[in-house]
Amino acid sequence: MSLDHRLSAEHEELRRTVEQFAHDVVAPKIGDYYERHEFPYEIVAEMGRMGLFGLPFPEEYGGMGGDYLALGIALEELARVDSSVAITLEAGVSLGAMPLHLFGTEEQKRQWLPKLCAGEMLGAFGLTEPGAGSDAGGTRTTAVRDGDQWVVNGSKCFITNSGTDITGLVTVTAVTGRKPDGRPLISSIIVPSGTPGFTVAAPYSKVGWNASDTRELSFDDVRVPAENLLGEEGRGYAQFLRILDEGRVAIAALATGLAQGCVDESVKYAKERHAFGRPIADNQAIQFKIADMETRAHMARIGWRDAASRLVLGEPFKKEAAVAKLYSSTVAVDNAREATQIHGGYGFMNEYPVARMWRDSKILEIGEGTSEVQRMLIARELGLGA
């Protein structure tokens, strides 16, 4: 048994490459995109050319032949600089392309994955509804079979990457029937962008992630071919549970990156900022605050990498993913708050990255399963409760 948690040479090379890209390309430009609430097409295109959207997918579909650990590494390094760019990658891979890879037919994979892996197209995952968030079993969107078509009606909310100029499809969960006991049969159906009756609302006005795309979707007698069913009919609920388990590992990596970015910015600022004739980095109160921040980020990194390693090895990882997501998102909020405090008044100015990090951190305790849901999952894995 190996106790070496260090990255392989290949993974370390990827980390350094993305780190350099984040600092050289993302950092100088993303603030303007963020302030304008504008999607960074130029940056996303370059991420596509680097192969980041294809990291965990097989080369035969245009992927890089990597694994989920590689994706997490890229997400962490991007989020150290900006979370809007990181969540665009996370949602594009974990929610947009991964369902097709895991559950799609060979024809579906060959139709969609190459462009998704190249970053030339984005996919989205339509799960959350106005009345069904954590309780996704309460899905009200329906899909009725009519000959060789599905007719979809309903709405979805808070859907990332669903309304960009390069969005190609949304995989929608919908009730397609009822079980003998009356419970809904939930299935996943691919709805291509531009399908008649499929309406994408204007972007939300958000507290954070301002350079990412998040929309409400509506479906009014939207007709798609019967072969757009993703996986088996009635297995959509189980599919989305698998997708969310994996997605929590990715979000934990992203949250860790934000937490580490807060450390990076605080160390830099503490050395530059002088008060009472000396750098504030000389003050033990500041040193201890940053030391605690580094400790939290370090432990969060161990957590998500452990969950990712289990996933890659094909071992059970549900509990570890929930632990990693719960802890890292909490750490992200804590570190963002402390980084803002260290920066003082400047921490309240949008020109400083920590202001973005403070605004971006809170959603990490909500998206891909709230902190309360993570605690429920952990308790259930320990044999507690019903």
CATH number at residue 309: 1.20.140.10
Q: Choose the final residue of a domain: 122, 139, 163.
A: 122
Q: What is the pLDDT of residue 190?
A: 97
Is 164 in the same domain as 209?
yes
* Structural domain includes residue 340: yes
Is 114 in the same domain as 168?
no
Task: Report the CATH number at residue 38.
Answer: 1.10.540.10
* Structural domain includes residue 101: yes
Is 54 in the same domain as 139?
no
Q: What does the block give as tokens for 178?
A: 């009822």
Is 263 in the same domain as 366?
yes
Q: What does the block give as tokens for 205?
A: 């006005």
Tell me how far CA of residue 149 lies from CA of 29, 199, 227, 235, 284, in angstroms: 44, 19, 8, 18, 67
Tell me how far CA of residue 154 lies from CA of 142, 172, 190, 223, 256, in angstroms: 6, 10, 14, 13, 35
Distance between CA atoms of residues 359 and 349, nearest Å: 11
Reduced to 3 states, what is the DSSP secondary structure of residue 342? helix
Cβ distance 176 to 131 under 8 Å?
Answer: no
Is 348 in the same domain as 245?
yes
Q: What angle do CA 164, 366, 115 make, to 5 degrees?
A: 30
Is 246 in the same domain as 362?
yes
Q: Are strands 149-160 and 142-146 parallel, antiparallel or unpaired?
A: antiparallel
Q: Choose the final residue of a domain: 122, 142, 157.
A: 122
Q: Give the count of domains, the chain.
A: 3
Is 317 in the same domain as 376?
yes
Q: What is the pLDDT of residue 4?
A: 61
Is 162 in the same domain as 253?
no
Cβ distance 76 to 89 under 8 Å?
Answer: no
Q: What is the pLDDT of residue 386?
A: 62
Is 367 in the same domain as 265?
yes
Is 243 in the same domain as 376?
yes
* Structural domain includes residue 31: yes
The structure's pTM equals 0.95
φ and ψ of 11, to 5 deg: -70, -35
Cβ distance 174 to 142 under 8 Å?
Answer: yes
* Structural domain includes residue 3: no
pLDDT mean values, one per 10 residues, the chain (386 residues): 71 96 97 96 97 96 94 98 98 96 96 97 93 73 96 96 97 93 92 97 96 97 97 90 92 98 98 92 96 98 96 95 98 98 94 95 94 95 86
Q: Choose the final residue of a domain: 87, 122, 157.
A: 122
Q: What angle do CA 285, 289, 293 make, to 5 degrees?
A: 170
Distance between CA atoms of residues 91 and 324, nearest Å: 18
Q: What is the pLDDT of residue 182?
A: 83
Q: What is the pLDDT of residue 1?
A: 39
Is 305 in the same domain as 177?
no
* Structural domain includes residue 363: yes
* Structural domain includes residue 128: yes
Is 198 in the same domain as 325?
no
* Structural domain includes residue 267: yes
Q: What is the pLDDT of residue 383?
A: 94
Distance between CA atoms of residues 123 and 134, nearest Å: 22
* Structural domain includes residue 56: yes
Quick one: 316 exposed, middle or buried, by C-beta within 10 A (0-12, 13-18, 19+)? exposed
Distance between CA atoms of residues 62 and 68, nearest Å: 16
Cβ distance 122 to 161 under 8 Å?
Answer: yes
Domain interval for residue 41: 9-122
Task: Report the CATH number at residue 216.
Answer: 2.40.110.10
Provide the annotated active-site residues: 368
Distance between CA atoms of residues 336 and 233, nearest Å: 43
